[in-house]
Amino acid sequence: MATWVQHVLSADGWETAPALASARPSSLAVPRPLLQRGTQVSTVKAEGDPIEDIWQALKKGKRPGTDPGQCNPNGRLTTEASLCMWLTGLSDGEKYGLISQAVSDAPLCLEGLEAVLQLGWYDMNTYIQTSTGMFSPAALVLCNHGGGSESSGSAVVGALRMLLDAGADLKRPAVLSFELDPLESLVHLAVQYGHSSDVLLFLRGVGIDLDIAAHESWGRTAAWEAVVHKNLDLLKVLLEMGASLPRDAVHRASHGGHVEMVRYLLQLGMPPDSLSNPTPMQLASKKGHLEVVRLLHASGADVRRCNAVGASPFSIAFRAGHATVVSYLRSCGIREDNLERQYPNGPTWTAKPQQKRKKRTTPMRERARRAGVLDRLRDSPPGARERAQNGSASAKKELQAIHKHNHQVVDRAEVAAHPERLELDCRRKADASSHRKRSLAL
């Protein structure tokens, strides 16, 4: 059976719901201003639970009956009775696992989701914990069913409307993550996952602010997300709905190399240059986006403007190895003789030769290499050491025989190469033996 834990975030920290397990999660740094006292988070660990079977039955139109003991003429429990019995035995955490399964399963099944919501178990403002953060049920719908087609857009709008009717507050933060931005709304997720304009119109209709920033210091609005993800169609829809353009929209589009996005932003009257560094021209030169460089230059961008360390777009492109950008800037009359004298072969990268890793060797193989008999050593067969560690007697004998053979080969080769060593070893052994005898005599 799967283990499910539900935690409640209070003003003093994480507290476990009294009816569930008492284990506290490890240190969770959720920004306090984002959560009110009593915000619920459902932590899910699914390992062989019956939720998948329940969900598949609900998807096929089966509904739980009122009598858990109802049988068919053959004396077996009916599907309705089995569903009733399964649903009665679910814990609180497993119930939230069922809603998570309903909103995440692809393709989106509105009939099954409606059947799950009709059970009336859920607080739609509870966050469900996944491997990347804690998501609201509405956020899971957007994250798992992106694509932008009309059919998927209508299904997503239908699912969001069902969640709204079930009591979900769609204006709350969509994600409570320790890695992602804490103020991401459903509009941000809709743009990130490329949903259609119908989804954006629905979200604006429920009162979500299109200009809310996912990170207050970065200004990550929905329009900013559309520029970064190179979605020109969604950007046009957002602007038609009244969203404002971010100040660094041309910078982001130039960095990403989206020519049509840059052209559209310039047509809206945004400046091709900026007073702060790096400029759009410098970003496009660094990434080697030739068409963007041409467009910015034709729109009046300064191609000689240097960044904070004194590097011009020419030197940035030269050092980055973008020959096409360097050639275009040369055609515009821009040259840097000092840089070209330093690199006479032009803007090309010379790959460093990869150093071969030294093969790990044992002392026995090193002795064999010095003696010139490395090719006469016998290697242990694959898997012999593992079998010997597991207690195989035959594998142990085989390894002992190989080890003895290798020692004999190396010892004989060393003696043949240096006969004086054998005499020296015999003398040392004799001296040690006589020393022991004298000690015993005393």
C-alpha span between 382 and 247 (Å, rounded): 62
66: in domain: no
431: in domain: yes
For residues 214 and 121, the model is more confident at 121
Q: Are residues 231 and 112 in the same domain?
A: yes
Following CA atoms 183, 187, 192, 194 in sequence, which dihedral angle do they give, to the nearest 10 degrees? 170
178: in domain: yes
pLDDT exceeds cutoff 50 at 406: yes
Residue 73 pLDDT: 62
Residue ending a domain, among 243, 275, 301, is 243
What's the Cα-to-Cα distance from 172 to each of 182, 183, 336, 341, rounded to whole Å?
11, 9, 54, 59
Q: Are residues 251 and 239 in the same domain?
A: no
The three-point CA angle 412-415-420 to 5° equals 165
Average predicted confidence (pLDDT) for the chain = 75
68: in domain: no
Q: Tokens 């030294």 identify what position?
A: 358
- Cβ atoms of 194 and 234 within 8 Å: the answer is yes
**N-term to C-term CA, the chain:** 76
Q: Are residues 115 and 225 in the same domain?
A: yes
73: in domain: no
User: Residue 131 sits in a domain of what CATH number?
Assistant: 1.25.40.20
Q: Tokens 């006969």 identify what position?
A: 419
For residues 356 and 6, the model is more confident at 356
**Could you report the per-residue pLDDT of 184-223, keeping only the tens digit for each?**
788 888 888 888 888 988 998 888 888 877 655 456 888 8
For residues 223 and 421, the model is more confident at 223
Q: Are residues 145 and 203 in the same domain?
A: yes
Spell out the residues 6+ positions from residue 202 whose beta carbon is closer than 8 angstroms to its own: 157, 160, 161
389: in domain: no
DSSP string computed for 366-389: HHHHHHT-GGGPPPPPTTHHHHHH
Query: What's the pTM?
Result: 0.61
- Cβ atoms of 372 and 384 within 8 Å: the answer is no
- How many CA atoms, within 13 angstroms, populate the side-chain half-sphere of residue 277? 11
- Cβ atoms of 316 and 282 within 8 Å: the answer is yes
The domain of 189 spans 3-48+91-243
Q: Are residues 234 and 251 in the same domain?
A: no
Strand pairing category for 39-45 and 3-10: antiparallel
Q: Are residues 342 and 272 in the same domain?
A: yes
Residue 260 pLDDT: 94
- Cβ atoms of 186 and 142 within 8 Å: the answer is yes
pLDDT exceeds cutoff 80 at 330: yes
Q: Are residues 217 and 123 in the same domain?
A: yes
Q: Are residues 184 and 310 in the same domain?
A: no
Residue ending a domain, among 320, 348, 376, is 348
**Could you report the per-residue pLDDT of 11-45, keeping only the tens digit for each?**
333 333 333 333 323 323 333 333 343 444 444 43
Query: What residues are paired with 176 via a beta bridge?
Result: 134
Q: Are residues 236 and 265 in the same domain?
A: no
Q: Which two tokens stand for residue 52?
A: 């998948």
Count of Cβ atoms closer than 10 Å to residue 346 Cβ: 11
**Identity of the highest mean pLDDT range in 36-45, 82-91, 335-344, 351-360:** 82-91
Residue ending a domain, among 290, 320, 348, is 348
- Cβ atoms of 210 and 190 within 8 Å: the answer is no
83: in domain: no
Q: Are residues 267 and 341 in the same domain?
A: yes
Q: Are residues 262 and 151 in the same domain?
A: no
Confidence of residue 180 (pLDDT cuts 50, 70, 90): low
Count of Cβ atoms closer than 10 Å to residue 186 Cβ: 27
Residue 365 pLDDT: 84
Q: Is residue 7 helix, strand or coil? A: strand
76: in domain: no
Confidence of residue 255 (pLDDT cuts 50, 70, 90): very high
**Identity of the highest mean pLDDT range in 118-122, 210-214, 250-254, 432-436:** 250-254
- Give the chain's domain count: 3
Residue 437 pLDDT: 60
- Cβ atoms of 102 and 116 within 8 Å: the answer is yes
Q: Are residues 186 and 321 in the same domain?
A: no
Q: Is the dihedral of CA 383, 385, 390, 392 positive or negative?
A: positive
Residue 418 pLDDT: 75
**Identity of the highest mean pLDDT range in 58-67, 120-129, 264-273:** 264-273
